[in-house]
């Protein structure tokens, strides 16, 4: 199937998920995008480059899944390990036809100006370094809430010629000399700025593969948040689609289920690492934080026109037919069959994976638990029966691996 989407709207929505990693500071990528675009205008760069900077700014931290890494990036002006997430971000973007042209800029967005490789073009150096500069401006703001603009400008000026291009430093200082530059960093004004940019986007047609590549990219970001959930989203998506095909659902439903499976845990980016990796039982406060991730997935995905149904399916993967699930505690008549499939796939895949508090189970052990849940009225009996009838194949689909194919897209195997 083909999908008609505004890729600016998609990027903005997914940047919301990336910013979840900041927990209490969820506008970082938008502020970086805004500041980079404004400096670009001051330099009289083309509208195309300015537009690209908005995309790059919103995606620049796609290599960050960990709240611990985010803390270092915000708390230190020049963290020694910052290159790790830049390399990961480049790797992720290279796998998508839609975003791969931004990958080089992401790779070097924490590289010092005086250390940028000579083989890069002038444009690659300038754009990468501009993202670095405004990213550090936002970090300086986070480090000292009452920092005055002139203090931030002085710090950036101090590193002119070493961390940052002298030309870019001068342009930033001129651009930020206007008080309105800083006013736009407030949430309301920034929201309007980004909304106006999104409205300039046009609806274009994308293939299912292109949308799947973007979804796989974000699934990989979510799964990288914890060593215990590596490839969880991909396993859930693959098993969900397999089950949907066994029920001979329409191609449209099968695709929606697969995308929902890939994106179902997007809201977990808002959960602190310590909670996800906790070896013991979660306390009440931690459980409340964990239990809202389906809701947060829904909030992000339904911002995308054309994704409303996918968002709904994704958000219900912890709902149960006895109305005791979360986050909505829906009765069974409110839970669509597609969401019931994803719920079974999510539980099965999680049970066979290693988790901080237990080793992964065998497929038979996992099925036994799922069967008990079905008997207790929590899961759909038809889906659980189908799982039992195809247990080995379901296990193989739930443990699928992925690599990067020669055309830089995902190769599921």
Confidence of residue 228 (pLDDT cuts 50, 70, 90): low
Catalytic residue among 30, 212, 225, 268: 268
Task: Say which CATH class 2-199 falls into.
Answer: mainly alpha
Q: What is the pLDDT of residues 141-169, one digit of tens each?
A: 988 878 899 999 999 999 999 999 999 99
Q: What pLDDT shows up at residue 25?
A: 65
Q: What is the mean pLDDT of residues 76-82?
A: 86
What is the rounded average pLDDT for all residues in the chain? 91
Length of the chain: 413
- Could you tell me if residue 354 is left (phi over 0), alpha (psi between -120 and 50 degrees) or otherwise beta? beta
> Strands, DSSP E only, in 277-407?
402-404
Helices 363-375 and 391-398: crossing angle, nearest 10°? 110
pLDDT at 262 over 80: yes
Phi then psi dihedrals of residue 79, to 5 deg: -65, 135
Buried b (16+ CB within 10 A) or exposed e, 98-129: bbbebbbbbbbbbbebeebeeebeeebbbbbb
Q: What is the spatial distance between Cα 381 and Cα 386, in angstroms, rounded to a whole number? A: 9
Q: What is the spatial distance between Cα 374 and Cα 339, in angstroms, rounded to a whole number? A: 15
Residues 6+ apart with CB under 8 A from 33: 15, 53, 54, 55, 56, 57, 58, 194
Confidence of residue 294 (pLDDT cuts 50, 70, 90): very high
Residue that the structure tokens 């506008």 belong to: 27
| Count of Cβ atoms closer than 10 Å to residue 346 Cβ | 23
Instruction: Tell me which residue of 51, 62, 53 sits closest to 85, measured CA to CA.
Output: 62
Q: What is the pLDDT of residues 23-73, one digit of tens each?
A: 556 789 999 999 999 999 999 999 999 999 999 999 999 988 777 787 778
Classify residue 80 by burial, with Cβ atoms within 10 Å: 0-12, 13-18, 19+. exposed
pLDDT at 409 over 70: no
Q: What is the spatial distance between Cα 394 and Cα 369, in angstroms, rounded to a whole number? A: 15
Q: What pLDDT shows up at residue 26?
A: 73
Task: Say which CATH class 208-412 falls into.
Answer: mainly alpha
pLDDT at 390 over 70: yes
Q: What is the mean pLDDT of residues 389-411?
A: 72
Q: What pLDDT shows up at residue 407?
A: 38
pLDDT at 6 over 90: yes
Q: What is the mean pLDDT of residues 122-149?
A: 94
Given a contact cutoff of 8 angstroms between Cβ atoms, the answer to whether 259 and 215 are in contact is yes
Confidence of residue 355 (pLDDT cuts 50, 70, 90): confident
The single-letter DSSP state of residue 213 is: H
Q: What is the mean pLDDT of residues 190-198?
A: 96
| CA angle centred on 57, ends 306 and 305, rounded to 5° | 10
Per DSSP, the three-state class of 410 is strand
Q: What pLDDT shows up at residue 357?
A: 67
Given a contact cutoff of 8 angstroms between Cβ atoms, the answer to whether 321 and 335 are in contact is yes
Q: What pLDDT shows up at residue 227?
A: 58
Gyration radius (Cα) of the chain, Å: 22
Note the Cα 247 to chain centre separation in Å.
30
Q: Where in the chain is the domain with CATH 1.10.3210.10?
A: 2-199, 208-412
Q: What is the pLDDT of residues 362-383, one digit of tens each?
A: 999 999 999 999 999 999 999 9
Q: Is 268 a catalytic residue?
A: yes
Confidence of residue 274 (pLDDT cuts 50, 70, 90): confident
Q: What is the mean pLDDT of residues 340-356?
A: 92
Q: What pLDDT shows up at residue 77?
A: 86
Confidence of residue 226 (pLDDT cuts 50, 70, 90): low
Host H or E run for residue 187:
helix 187-199
DSSP characters over 62-80: TT---HHHHHHHHH-TT-T
Confidence of residue 404 (pLDDT cuts 50, 70, 90): very low
| CA angle centred on 89, ends 84 and 92, rounded to 5° | 130
Q: What pLDDT shows up at residue 412?
A: 47
Q: What pLDDT shows up at residue 341?
A: 98
Per DSSP, the three-state class of 278 is coil
| CA angle centred on 115, ends 113 and 116, rounded to 5° | 70
């Amino acid at each position: 199937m083909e999908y008609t989407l505004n890729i600016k709207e998609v990027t903005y929505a997914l940047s919301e998920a990336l910013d979840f990693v900041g927990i209490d500071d969820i506008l970082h990528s938008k502020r970086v995008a805004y500041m980079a675009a404004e400096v670009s205008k001051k330099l009289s760069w083309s509208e195309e480059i300015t537009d690209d900077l908005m995309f790059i700014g919103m995606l620049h931290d796609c290599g960050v899944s960990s709240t611990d890494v985010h803390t270092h990036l915000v708390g230190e002006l020049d963290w020694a390990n910052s290159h790790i997430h830049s390399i990961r971000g480049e790797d992720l973007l290279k796998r998508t036809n839609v975003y791969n042209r931004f990958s080089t800029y992401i790779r070097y967005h924490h590289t010092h100006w005086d250390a940028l490789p000579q083989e890069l073009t002038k444009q690659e150096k300038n754009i990468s370094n501009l993202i670095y500069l405004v990213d550090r401006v936002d970090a300086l703001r986070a480090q000292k809430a009452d920092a005055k603009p002139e203090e931030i400008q002085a710090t950036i000026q101090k590193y002119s010629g070493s961390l940052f291009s002298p030309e870019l430093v001068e342009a930033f200082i001129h651009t930020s000399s206007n008080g309105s530059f800083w006013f736009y960093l407030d949430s309301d004004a920034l929201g309007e700025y980004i909304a106006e940019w999104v409205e300039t986007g046009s609806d274009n047609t994308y293939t299912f593969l292109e949308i799947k590549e973007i979804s796989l990219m974000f699934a990989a970001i979510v799964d990288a948040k914890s060593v215990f959930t590596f490839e969880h989203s991909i396993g859930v998506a693959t098993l969900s689609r397999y089950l949907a095909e066994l029920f001979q659902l329409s191609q449209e439903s099968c695709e929606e289920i697969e995308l929902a499976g890939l994106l179902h845990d997007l809201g977990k980016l808002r959960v602190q690492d310590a909670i996800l990796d906790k070896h013991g039982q979660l306390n009440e406060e931690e459980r409340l934080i964990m239990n809202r991730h389906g809701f947060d997935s829904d909030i992000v995905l339904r911002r995308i026109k054309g994704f409303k149904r996918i968002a709904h399916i994704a958000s219900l993967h912890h709902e149960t037919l006895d109305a005791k699930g979360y986050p909505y505690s829906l009765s069974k008549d409110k839970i669509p069959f597609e969401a019931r499939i994803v719920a079974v796939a999510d539980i099965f895949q999680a049970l066979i994976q290693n988790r901080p508090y237990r080793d992964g189970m065998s497929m038979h052990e996992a099925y036994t638990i799922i069967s008990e849940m079905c008997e207790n009225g929590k899961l759909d009996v038809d889906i659980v029966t189908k799982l039992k009838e195809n247990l080995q194949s379901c296990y193989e689909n739930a443990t699928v691996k992925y690599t990067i194919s020669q055309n830089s897209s995902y190769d599921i195997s």
